Amino acid sequence: MSSRKLVSTIYDHQIPQTIRSSLHWAQTKSTHLSPPFLPKPPSFLATNIIKSYFEKWQMKEAQLLFDEMPNRDVVAWTAMISGYTSCNFHKRAWTVFCEMTRDSINVVPNEYTFSSVLKACKGMKSHFCGSLVHSLVIKYAMPGCIYVENVLLDMYSTCCESMDEASMLFEEISSKNAVSWTTLIAGYTHQGDGHGALRVFRKMLLEEAEMNPFCISIAVRACASIGSYMYGKQIHAAVVKHGFQTNIPVMNSMLDMYCRCSSLGEADDCFYGMAEKDLITWNTLISGYEKTYPNESLNIYARMESEGIAPNCFTFTSILAAVANLAVLSFGEQVHGAIIQRGFGGNLELDNALIDMYAKCGNIMDSRKTFDQMSSKNLVSWTSMIIGYGSHGYGKEAVELFDEMVESGAMPDQIVFMAVLSACSHAGLVEEGLRYFRSMAGDYKINPEQQIYGCVVDLLGRAGRVEEAYELIRSMPVMPDETVWAVFLGACKMHKRPDLGKLAVSRVLELRPGIAGTYITLSNLYAADGNWVEFAAARKLMRRLGNKKETGRSWVELQNQIYCFVSGDKVGTHIEWVYAVLDKLVQHIKDVGFVPDIDDFLHDLDMDNLVHDLEVGT
DNA sequence: CTAGGGTTAG
């Protein structure tokens, strides 16, 4: 319906069903006006209709009506700005604001206008627009209004790289309220500075500001982000004290906190203690179990379905991650089917999770198919695909995809560089990898982090260029951490360089003592040298640590059955089939000229037992 | 006509 017709229907009292409710609302608000419809429709009536259009996401209708309003006051303008913002059309909201300022003879923005447009700036992540509005706020002598101050705070928190501007502004607010505190804490948390967030939260407690569920839930989220079980537990006590245990968002973030602090038992307690749960509650538990117990994660999902709760995109991304961890292709395909069936096909995050799932389940073709069919891609999409190629040994494809990504205009980050570097490393594309490494600082002004150095050390090390890898470590602008040395250690081991290897071991032990694997490698280095005294000493040290290297497991999926086995397995379901397949594989790799490295195997099994026998004196 | 919280992917 055109707005002209709409206006005439208002005159004719033929109110369409769609706007009857809002009109009714307007009438009850205007009982002092008699008759209810003035010769010209009062601005507030049209404004309320505009508002109700936006609530139904009917932006065209709202705009049409606004365009035909004879007297557009500040309230109508603000309704347009806030309406577009609430529909996530932030740029459009900004344009409306600009139009409004051009009409400044007839209309002057007020605190409502500034609040709305600042929210749009936040949505656009535009520090430029935001500070422009800030200057207008000052010009119109608007500071002092707590609504405007709080949304300015929020805008600076989201649009700035650091929290400096926001916290400065916060200090200047004379009458801070609970919203101001919550906004500041949320700002720190969302920027990944959990410690900063908790510092502010502590200050808030000391100043005895009003405590409410909003603030608690974001503080708990801060605990979760830094993995602080101690603080999380303390805030849990405060939650009980304030009687917030029935608040679902509070308990959801509490649940998430326990999951991220790997206290799944307490997460369970939270979950079962909740009288009321919502979809986020279930999703949080499913995603909490996904990393460590993917099996259990799927069980929880099954329980959720049996209780008649419908999953959403969040649910399915966690489920796909669980399936990817389990690497069970047949299950992954079923989940993919369910996703399409429920109408979640084409969701960006889900497609990214599908790429990852198919790659980890060994079906790189379907990863690529998913990737190609995506209508829009983000960095994660490209990275997932490159990691998939890399782990399948398709270095050339990974490199090509990276170049294609750059051509498409996407801005690479550390992680996607790690992906392409590790793909180069596994495929032996040393020169290509080094070129990418140099381009990071050269073309993209990215300072490589430790993990990038780890990748390049691996790249050189695998290719046998151990000396160059060592030189790279020595030339690093930051102190190499234990992960870099550990990678280097692997290269020393692979290319039989006990001299540099022992150096690497001592660095790893200095920086991160207590990892059994380091001692194993050290002892193997001595074994390769024939130095059995040192070998035994290293093994002894390791045994004293008491922590064992996690057993590596392998499994094959055959006709919808999973057959799981470990090295040296003698028992298991159809273990003889496993060995039959294994024999064929070994024959095949021998045929293509591969010589397996059995050094570790010998030391780990036979020599270790020998040392043990010597120790106990048998 | 205006402000703050909880679950997803590399």
pLDDT at position A196, please?
A: 97
Chain B: positions less than 7 Å from a protein CB are 1-10
Give the nucleotide at minimum CA-to-C1' distance from A318.
B8
Tell me the CA–C1' distance in angstroms for A213 and B5: 7
Do residues A81 and A93 lie in contact, with contact meaning Cβ atoms separated by under 8 Å? Answer: yes
Residue nearest to nucleotide B3 (CA to C1'): A147
Tell me the CA–C1' distance in angstroms for A146 and B2: 10
Give the nucleotide at minimum CA-to-C1' distance from A320.
B9
pLDDT of A605 strictly over 50: no
- Name the more confident of A37 and A257: A257
Tell me the CA–C1' distance in angstroms for A367 and B9: 14
Closest listed residue to residue A567, CA positions, set A599, A601, A543: A601
pLDDT of A125 strictly over 60: yes
Q: Is residue A581 a part of any domain in this protein?
A: yes
Q: Is residue A594 a part of any domain in this protein?
A: yes
pLDDT at position A150, please?
A: 97
Give the nucleotide at minimum CA-to-C1' distance from A351.
B9
Per-residue pLDDT tens over the stretch A576-589: 776 776 677 677 76
Give the nucleotide at minimum CA-to-C1' distance from A181.
B4
Beta strands in A392-483 (DSSP E): none
Mean pLDDT of chain A: 87
pLDDT of A25 strictly over 60: no
pLDDT at position A564, please?
A: 64
Tell me the CA–C1' distance in angstroms for A411 and B10: 14
SS3 breakdown of chain A: % helix, strand, coil, rounded to 5?
70, 0, 25
Give the confidence band of A43 by pLDDT, cuts at 50, 70, 90.
confident
Give the mean model confidence (pLDDT) for residues A301-326. 97
Q: Is residue A63 a part of any domain in this protein?
A: no
pLDDT at position A28, please?
A: 41
Closest listed residue to residue A318, CA positions, set A348, A276, A289, A360: A289
CB atoms within 10 A of CB A185: 25
Q: Is residue A235 a part of any domain in this protein?
A: no
Residues of chain A above pLDDT 70, percent: 83
Q: In 3-state terms, what secondary structure has residue A247?
A: coil
pLDDT of A20 strictly over 50: no
pLDDT of A457 strictly over 60: yes
Give the nucleotide at minimum CA-to-C1' distance from A47.
B1
Give the nucleotide at minimum CA-to-C1' distance from A281.
B7
Give the confidence band of A273 by pLDDT, cuts at 50, 70, 90.
very high
Per-residue pLDDT tens over the stretch A326-370: 999 999 999 999 999 999 999 999 999 999 999 999 999 999 999
Tell me the CA–C1' distance in angstroms for A351 and B10: 12
Tell me the CA–C1' distance in angstroms for A222 and B8: 18
Residue nearest to nucleotide B2 (CA to C1'): A112
Tell me the CA–C1' distance in angstroms for A215 and B3: 14
Q: Is residue A607 a part of any domain in this protein?
A: yes
What gap in Å lies between CA A41 and CA A31, rounded to an integer? 15
Give the confidence band of A568 by pLDDT, cuts at 50, 70, 90.
low
Give the confidence band of A33 by pLDDT, cuts at 50, 70, 90.
very low
Q: Is residue A582 a part of any domain in this protein?
A: yes
Question: How many domains, chain A?
Answer: 1
What gap in Å lies between CA A120 and CA A84, rounded to an integer? 8
Give the confidence band of A525 by pLDDT, cuts at 50, 70, 90.
confident
**What's the domain range around A563?**
551-616
**Rounded alpha-carbon distances, angstroms, from residue A419 to A303, A336, A606:** 36, 25, 37
Residue nearest to nucleotide B4 (CA to C1'): A179
Residue nearest to nucleotide B6 (CA to C1'): A249
pLDDT at position A266, please?
A: 97
Q: Is residue A496 a part of any domain in this protein?
A: no
Q: Residue-wise over A128-159: b if at least 16 C-beta within 10 A, else e?
A: ebbbebbebbeeeebeebeebbbbbbbbbbbb
Tell me the CA–C1' distance in angstroms for A420 and B4: 41
Q: Is residue A157 a part of any domain in this protein?
A: no
Maximum mean pLDDT: which of A104-108, A282-286, A524-528, A598-602: A282-286
pLDDT at position A591, please?
A: 75
pLDDT of A616 strictly over 50: no
CA Rg value for chain A: 31
pLDDT at position A576, please?
A: 74
